[in-house]
Structure 1
Amino acid sequence: MAYNADGKRLFSCGTNKEGESYLVEWNESEGTIKHTYHGLGKSSSGVVQFDTIKNRFLAVGDKFMVKFWDMDNDSLLTSTDANGGLLASPCIRFNKEGVLLAVSTSDNSIKILANSFGIELLRTAEKHILLESLLGVFCR
């Protein structure tokens, strides 16, 4: 279970007794399900991992894929296999700004998925690391 960024919406994701995966938003005051998000696999082979970002999006690692929903829409927004190599139920986490998403892979590493802002952030970081490496060589 997890709250969204402003702590006003509670979500849970998992697998029921029948092996069906689910992602829901709860109405805490009534103890009832407010939204059921559609598009998860019928049967999960492990613990379903999810994360929220910016009071807007949900992401779930399911069936060797990462699936995305707009919090205000029950239908699947999009999904990606991240060019392959993901676990059946990959662990996923957004960075604080919500522009990068780390996803666990089958070879015990991670893939970083990024939107256009995240790509620019990675390019800036790469330039910074390269500059530090060059300065380290020249300053010895």
Structure 2
Amino acid sequence: MMAYDADGTRLFSCGTNKEGESYLVEWNDREVAVKRTYHGLGKRPGGVVQFDTTKNRFLAAGEEFMVKFWDMDNEDILTITNAEGGLPASPCIRFNKEGVLLAVSTSDDSIKVLANADGIRLLRTLENSAS
């Protein structure tokens, strides 16, 4: 899987090599070379690691029944969450346009929405306007 960041200036790819190790990298598309390799992905027995970017700052990947987060400018993992359980081995993930909400697929074919502080405020505003 490959994707550009929000402003289309940074190219990322994610996959699994022949040894079953997952990888997430940023490409220098002018030189067709890996610019940065992000650490923290595990070993997968096949399958696709889903990932997304937001606000030209953060990366998130669904892997090992969890969601893992990186700052785009740092190779080391920022944080990990299991979203209170119920995630498949490689959950599908997608940030909203503002990057404050993250939709995550679950094992029972539903969706969990993860939110940062701004996302919680947005959800409360939507909830109050619906009442």
Same fold (TM over 0.5): yes
TM-score normalised according to structure 1 size: 0.90
**Can you list the C-alpha shifts for 1:18-38, whole angstroms capped at 9, x where unaligned?**
211000000111111000000
Q: For the Cα contact (< 8 Å) 1:46–1:88, is it kept in 2?
A: no
Aligned counterparts of 2:76 and 2:119: Cα–Cα separation in 1: 25
More helix per residue: 1
Q: Deviation digits for residues 106-127 of structure 1, max 9, x if unmatched?
A: 0100000000010011111112
Query: Which stretch of structure 1 is more off in the superposition, 15-24 or 71-80?
Result: 15-24
The answer to whether the 8 A contact 2:70-2:79 is kept is yes
Match in the other structure for 1:110: 111
Aligned residue for 2:80?
Answer: 79
Which residue identity is paired with 1:90? Answer: P
Structure 2 gap segments, 5+ residues each: none
Q: Which runs of 5+ in 1 are unaligned?
A: 132-140
1: CA distance between counterparts of 2:18 and 2:9? 28
Task: Find the structure with the greater CA-based Rg.
Answer: 1
Equivalent pairs counted in the alignment come to 130
Structure with more of its chain in strand, by fraction:
2
TM-superposed CA distance for 1:93, in Å, is 0.2
The question of 1:37 aligning with 2:42 is answered no
